Amino acid sequence: MEHLLQKVDLLYPEMVGWRRYLHQHPELSYQETETAAYVARHLREWGLDVETGVGGGGVVGRLRGGAEGPTIALRADMDALPIQDEKTCEFASKVKGVMHACGHDAHTATLLGVAKIMAEHREEWKGNMVFLFQHAEELSPGGAHAMIEQGALEGVDFVYGIHLWTPFPVGTVYSKPGAMMAAADEFEITIKGKGGHGGLPHETIDSIAVASHLVVNLQTIVSRSVDPTQPCVVSVGSFHSGTGFNVIAEKAVLIGTVRTFDPELRMQVKERLETYVEQTCRMFGADHAVEYKLGYPPVVNDAGEVERFYRAGASVAPVQTSPLIMAGEDFAYYLHHRKGCFMFVGAGNPELGITHPHHHPKFDIDESSMAIAAKLFISMAADCQNGWNADKC
């Protein structure tokens, strides 16, 4: 395996080039046409069997090894976010209002590098490799479920995913057994009052006042209705209402998210939120409507595969046990169907000024994290295929 890891270092400049090209040409969820074509073109050049349009916009590359062994899937996501890139660098996004603010460009470039190296050494490999380039991770219902339904995991024994993560320092890798990332649900609350003149509030039902009370009330779901030992987040991310300084708005719309790990608590918070909306609006005499969408389930790692991470990852970088992460990931769906684990690779570096959080207009990564991620993918797959005859991996 050591010679494969050395190949990563040799390929690293090319991986950086792929990443920077993709960073300059981002595409939103469900619109990754050119990104998918870019990926498919490279995979075909390296002799992989390639299927495009999987689940709507995904790309699957398949590589047959030189001997019998497990079939291992590795996944990268491809979509960008509706954020204006505010970085000042030569590879900043060229698409107005769209940028890779979560590292998916680097995920794609990393997995391309792994695919190229494994294609060059396919005869050494025991078993088969499946490279999942997934569309629409950022936008529910996401691309993972649709790709699985269309056969992306057919014949696959194990599946691994990596996220470059700037809150963790470059040079470290993280995972944990069991639940690691939260379920990510969405809600939209519409409050309808009675509009009118700003100087005659007694003739109105002020939707902004109602919505403001509701924003405060919703915070007590976590602080007063949830066991404090249970991780839970309720966040209102958008508040839209009103048209003028002297007009009391008839309608207000709140959009937000709920994050949980426990399935029972997940449904309790949903019911509690709906009750808070109903009773707050009743208090002011306003009407309401609630749309509540259950999003991605929690990411739950297989304990045995995390043991593999602790073993195989140690050959790449210092391994750490990840804290619970309240962000969501549709990689959860792959783990519902196959054994595997999701891993974080540290990508933050204060010395380079890389400190901005994910989904920030100035988000960036320490690109050396891509080499670590590629080596982690290869190490996990090699450990799996080397143990196949002894214990069926």
Residue pLDDT, tens place only, 48-90: 999 999 999 999 999 999 899 999 999 999 999 999 999 999 9
3-state SS, residue 267: helix
- Choosing from 79, 206, 330, 367, the catalytic residue is 79
Query: Dihedral angle at the C-alpha atoms of 329, 330, 331, 335, nearest 10 degrees?
Result: 120
> Does residue 388 surpass a pLDDT of 70?
no
137 is catalytic: yes
- Global pTM value: 0.94
274 is catalytic: no
Band (389; pLDDT cuts 50, 70, 90)? low
Q: What is the pLDDT of residues 130-176, one digit of tens each?
A: 999 999 999 999 999 999 999 999 999 999 999 999 999 999 999 99
> Does residue 23 surpass a pLDDT of 70?
yes
Percent of the chain residues past pLDDT 90, beyond the cut: 97
Q: Is the CB of residue 121 less than 8 Å from the CB of residue 113? A: no
Which CATH number is 2-181+298-391's, of 3.40.630.10, 3.30.465.10, 1.20.1260.10, 3.20.20.70? 3.40.630.10
Q: Is the CB of residue 280 less than 8 Å from the CB of residue 210? A: yes
Instruction: Determine the average pLDDT of the residues in 27-47.
Output: 98
- Choosing from 27, 77, 85, 137, the catalytic residue is 137
CATH code of domain 183-295: 3.30.70.360
Instruction: Break the chain into its structural domains and give their ranges.
Output: 2-181+298-391, 183-295
Q: What are the b/e assignments for 14-40, b being 16+ CB within 10 Å?
A: ebbebbbebbbbbbbbeebeebbebbb
Instruction: Kindly report the number of other CB atoms within 10 A of residue 201's CB atom.
Output: 12
Instruction: Determine the average pLDDT of the residues in 225-243.
Output: 97
> Does residue 393 surpass a pLDDT of 90?
no
**What does the block give as tokens for 205?**
């039902």
